[in-house]
Structure 1
């Protein structure tokens, strides 16, 4: 009897092991369902013309359809901070956003990577016409409106002030505002200056409410501004789709650079701006529309260090923490 029981136990162990192994194999080979709806976040500045151009041309839907995408939903944000909070909550698959708010949210365990650049430079410090300016010392005692803490504009402005011996917390009053509120504030004389991305500086100047005195490229030469961020879920489970997203972004970037007058009209119609203001902005700014992430990698690492020194994040991030260059490499190799 003892021998029979032993044999039965061994048979159960063997057959059970085969069954369990079969279950594991089935789970491992289970296909990940297609992404039928892709959610993209962006901000309405000319820094992100590549996204808007591709959207107006219908390229997002057309290019991504072969990968199962049936609907591309866009979500507009005034600044990068709320956009990154939306991505952190899992509501966005792709984000056109400033590198600085991406870094700040990475510190909150955001599962995402930068897969492409969007633009460099392209913001201006604008003073009211009646305020004299010969150098940074003239800013002492002024009220300056810019995007909220943790954004590109806030980071660059504070770092530049510190580099010029001005305490950003005590020598000036930096007021956090979205672009619309900041434009209204300087126009109404409620603030003395703004530091905003284009096309806002050109609009303020065209209306006679201010003049650009410092370009962001003078504050931090060749600095990264906006980037293309993709969720970790897409990167791990839909790499071919991510490569196509990067291809469409590259197409939007190249077309925007080669057809400036047309995309100025596309932007003006889309956002309700005067096209002459947009054309002037694209002529006047120091920004560049780019896609290659290697161009902005070092600058992004510098941002992360500045964020750390300003106390916005409590850890130092490396290039590997922030970037996945492989999708751009694949997109440009084919």
Structure 2
């Protein structure tokens, strides 16, 4: 009888342990962009684990694909651009931005030896960009073309949609006159000596937010303590990126399979140097500031004016910093 009782107790304890482990299993989807490096750093350096999380990282090519994964319940939380979150809200998929991931990342580049030296020179030219209505497309059309250049994005330029990985080749071969892209593709072009920056968005909009951590309604309602763990691990990763840049650059270069490139003078540029160059146009921060909220609202307004959203959404509908506050990360 005693042996049976002991066996039952051990079984109950084991079951309890498995339940506890399952409670902290978190499926994270992330857009595979260098600016989302905190997700990679947190995994590589054991910050998720140190917070008691058993994380499953799932990489995705863009926001729309992650939206499908969120809607189907495939992932619990996402490292994603801010525009997809308010676009989700407009389509009835309830989710909230709970922390910032990075600032900066985008630039308009042209051929290094070409005639384009300023925004005014791109009138009548062809610009490579990603899919129409995407976050980067909204930033290009709304901010770069309409606000900065005072152009009509539908008539004053031709926007050629293509994967970002094809843009540098399209620029080099003359298929397009300029390209609106992000890191590390900007730095690869600059370090090869084939491209030059016409407009650095981070200089025009210092520390503008781009990637964020967003959670759907179900996760917000049932996994709050795990989201707090996630945000603490996220903050540790950002601290590491800022305090240990050399090691962090090596981790990023390896994670993104960056290869050495040949500079114009024939010298070889190592992958970690590409990452260091990219840091000139992007950085990392977890806190959502009032200026971040204002910028996200501006993106929403651009989306409405460009016809990508049917109705205006207030930024307060898509930002929730209460979890960050309860985790001790937000003022």
Which portions of structure 1, spanning 4 or more consecutive aligned residues, are displaced by more than 3 angstroms?
A: 31-37, 218-222
Q: 1:144 to 1:53 in 2, by over 3 A?
A: same
Equivalent residue pairs, number: 297
Deviation, structure 1 residue 305: 1.5
Whole-angstrom CA distance in 2 between matches of 1:33 and 1:254: 27
Which position in structure 2 is the counterpart of 1:302? 298
Deviation, structure 1 residue 90: 2.5
Q: Verify: 1:208 aligned to 2:193, yes or no.
A: yes
Q: 1:85 to 1:173 in 2, by over 3 A?
A: farther
Deviation, structure 1 residue 218: 4.2
Whole-angstrom CA distance in 1 between matches of 2:46 and 2:161: 35
Deviation, structure 1 residue 222: 4.1
Find the residue that maps to 1:76 and give its secondary structure: strand
Which position in structure 2 is the counterpart of 1:148? 131
CA-to-aligned-CA distance 1:99-140 (integer Å, 9 cap, x gap): 112222221112211000111222111101232234322112
Which position in structure 2 is the counterpart of 1:15? none
Find the residue that maps to 1:120 and give its secondary structure: strand
Which position in structure 2 is the counterpart of 1:48? 36
Gaps of at least 5 residues in structure 2 are 1-18, 259-270
Whole-angstrom CA distance in 2 between matches of 1:247 and 1:150: 33
Q: Normalised by the size of structure 2, how large is the TM-score?
A: 0.83
Which position in structure 2 is the counterpart of 1:168? 153
Deviation, structure 1 residue 322: 0.3
In the alignment, is the contact (CA less than 8 A) between 2:126 and 2:177 conserved in 1? yes
In the alignment, is the contact (CA less than 8 A) between 2:31 and 2:62 conserved in 1? yes
Whole-angstrom CA distance in 2 between matches of 1:219 and 1:310: 21
Which position in structure 1 is the counterpart of 2:90? 107
Find the residue that maps to 1:242 and give its secondary structure: helix
Q: What aligned pairs does 1:66-85 form with structure 2 within 5 A after superposition?
A: 69=54, 72-85=55-68
Which position in structure 1 is the counterpart of 2:262? none
Which position in structure 2 is the counterpart of 1:119? 102
Whole-angstrom CA distance in 2 between matches of 1:333 and 1:312: 33
Whole-angstrom CA distance in 1 between matches of 2:62 and 2:228: 26
| Larger fraction in helix | 1
Which position in structure 2 is the counterpart of 1:323? 319
Q: 1:252 to 1:32 in 2, by over 3 A?
A: closer
Q: 1:168 to 1:333 in 2, by over 3 A?
A: closer
Find the residue that maps to 1:229 and give its secondary structure: strand
Whole-angstrom CA distance in 2 between matches of 1:148 and 1:179: 10
Whole-angstrom CA distance in 2 between matches of 1:114 and 1:88: 16
Q: Normalised by the size of structure 1, how large is the TM-score?
A: 0.82
Deviation, structure 1 residue 239: 1.0
In the alignment, is the contact (CA less than 8 A) between 1:81 and 1:148 conserved in 2? no
In the alignment, is the contact (CA less than 8 A) between 1:293 and 1:325 conserved in 2? yes
Deviation, structure 1 residue 215: 0.6
In the alignment, is the contact (CA less than 8 A) between 2:232 and 2:329 conserved in 1? no
Q: 1:311 to 1:219 in 2, by over 3 A?
A: farther
Q: Which moved more, 1:302-311 or 1:72-81?
A: 72-81
In the alignment, is the contact (CA less than 8 A) between 2:36 and 2:211 conserved in 1? yes
Q: Verify: 1:278 aligned to 2:275, yes or no.
A: yes
Deviation, structure 1 residue 247: 0.9
Find the residue that maps to 1:227 and give its secondary structure: strand
Q: Which moved more, 1:321-330 or 1:40-49?
A: 40-49
Whole-angstrom CA distance in 2 between matches of 1:300 and 1:43: 18
Which position in structure 2 is the counterpart of 1:59? 47
Whole-angstrom CA distance in 2 between matches of 1:79 and 1:220: 23
Q: Which moved more, 1:291-300 or 1:212-221?
A: 212-221
